[in-house]
Each structure stands twice: as structure tokens, then as C-alpha cells.
Amino acid sequence: MGAPHPEAVVPRAHSGRDAIAGGEPAIMIVGDSITQGRDGDHTWRYRLWRHFRSHGVTASFVGPWRGTWVPPENGPSGPEPHALAARCGIRSPAPVHTGRYRDGAGFEGDRHYASWGRLLHEAKDNIGDAVAAHGADHLMVALGFNDLAWGVRGPGQALRDLATFVRRAREANPDVQLLVANIVQRTPLREHPNLGRDTALYNRLLPARLAELSTARSRAVPVDIAAVYDPYDDAYDGVHPNDSGELKIARAFAGAYMSAFGVRPRLPARPGVTPGQLDWAAMAVRSEASRSGAEIIGQ
């Protein structure tokens, strides 16, 4: 059912407990277009990696893909082909992950498992193989928008798919730790009049569902990106993040990760920044400088 086409890799040993105990965690970021990003975006994945690195938070980012999405010259360019494939029970289009990042710059932490148009309904069927192949012991998951937006699944069905996703990830690694985001609201669409209602219902039910799924060995931690994300101010098209949206999503995941697993920055922060916190104000200044073309010092 709509399985993406991960690259062949050599599996490596992993242990979520070892990572929490002090080893370097292997984080796989799993998502859709909001996470993969479009050709020329920074992406919130870059923001997270950049700030972890700047503050001595050790982690490796793993996954089969590296780049952003490149719009096709001809044919549908949105998530519709994936939704249609899911409804018809056929294979989804092969993912595109050859796009560049802002200013053509790559980064060491660019490995991921996010694809434009990705469905939670689809990802549940291949997450186990991906966890096993790439040695992931932490998953940062931001999925579900396309399932609701394109009528593939309702809120209750999406939550059942999430439970299957978690179960199959644990079959590959019983110690895997999960950080699961809720779904951002988008600006209204006439063709999807119930999307806001369905998104709100899913987000309301998600924390309790994650609490039920969480175990002492493998936690399922909620990440509230919807509360901080304004689709009018933080998106360039009503849903996909602009610079401020990228920063807010990265901050939400970083905060949940550090709080849940007791992670603290190892490098000294700027004056005025509380020890143990990430310096998001400095990051926002760097982002603004990057947009204006100014030289960025100390990044």
C-alpha cells in the first residue's frame, strides 16, 4: 500500500536505551512535505540540526533520503497522487528527494525519512523496515495532515494508523523512543471544509492516545507544534513553513526531546540565555540575516 522506495543500506546495531544512557542517539525524522521541504527551503530539520550542533547536543540523523522536493515540470505537484493511490489500493508515486537547501548548502544532518505527500496510512506499513535498516533509536514524527486533508482517513482512523505505526517501529527496535507531533492547522480551503474541525479533533485526542501507547521501555512523547504555528504568519502558502514556521517546529521538537530525555546543551550559551536552554533568539537573528543577504558570523 503506497510504499516509498528507500535506498539500500547496511543495517547497523542500535539500542534506544544505550542512546538515552549517554551514547549518541540515532534520530530518524519521519514526515511529509512540511518536514521534507521544497527545493530552496532551509527546512525545520536544518534548524534543529544546526542548533543541536551549535550547543553541543550530540545526535546523528539517519534515514534513506537527503534532499528536498523538486516540483515536477508536468503532472500533479501536490499530495493528490499519494491520496489517490491510497484510496485505490495502488503503489504511491516514487518520492523525489533531489532538491537543494537554501543557497545550495547541504548539511551533515540532512538524512531523513520525509516525503512530499506522505501519508501516515502509508508510513505505518514501512516504518519497521526503515527503523531496522537505518538503526534508528529515536523517531521524530510529523504525519497525518495529508490523511485528513485528502479524505484518506478520519481522525479516529488516523489514530489507529498511528498505533500500528508505533507497534511496527517497536517490532524493529523494542527500545525505540518516539516524539509525535500533532497536526498544524492550515488556512481554510473551500474544497476541504471539514479539515479544521478534523484537525482539531485529532489534536485533542492525540495526547491521551500517546499516553496509552507509551511504555517504560519505549516512550511515545507528544510534541505540540499546532499551538505555536500560525498558518497566516508561519507558512508561505497557508500550510508549508516559512522561516518563522521552521524555527517554531524545530523549537517544539527540541524542547520535547530535551525535556523527555533529560538532554542539556554542553556548550556555554550567550549571556542572558538560561543554562540548559537553546538560544533560539540568536537563531532567529541569523535567519533574518540570511534572508537579507547579510553575512552571518559565528554560525
- Stated pTM of the model: 0.81
Q: What is the per-residue pLDDT for 295?
A: 29
Q: For the segment 258-280, what is each residue's pLDDT rounded down to a tens digit?
A: 999 998 877 655 555 454 455 54
Coil vs helix vs strand at 278: coil
Q: For the segment 181-224, what is each residue's pLDDT rounded down to a tens digit?
A: 999 999 998 989 999 999 999 999 999 999 999 999 999 999 99
- Of 51-55, 95-99, 163-167, the least confident: 95-99
Q: Is the pLDDT of residue 282 over 70?
A: no
pLDDT band at 102 (very low <50, low <70, confident <90, very high): confident
Q: Is the pLDDT of residue 99 over 90?
A: no
Q: Is the pLDDT of residue 292 over 90?
A: no
- Residue 174 and residue 137 in contact, taking contact as beta carbons nearer than 8 Å: no
Q: What is the per-residue pLDDT for 90?
A: 43
> What is the DSSP track for 81-122?
HHHHHHHHT-PPPPP---BPPGGG---TT--BEE-TT--HHH
> Looking at per-residue confidence, does 98 or 108 come out higher?
108
Q: Is the pLDDT of residue 125 over 70?
A: yes
Torsion angle of alpha carbons 185, 65, 121, 19, nearest 10°? -90
Q: For the segment 14-42, what is each residue's pLDDT rounded down to a tens digit?
A: 433 444 445 799 999 999 999 999 998 99
Q: Which positions ≥6 away from 108 have C-beta within 8 Å?
A: 49, 53
Distance in angstroms (rounded) separating the CA atoms of residues 181 and 203: 9
Distance in angstroms (rounded) separating the CA atoms of residues 245 and 3: 29
Q: Is the pLDDT of residue 129 over 70?
A: yes
Torsion angle of alpha carbons 193, 89, 70, 127, nearest 10°? 100
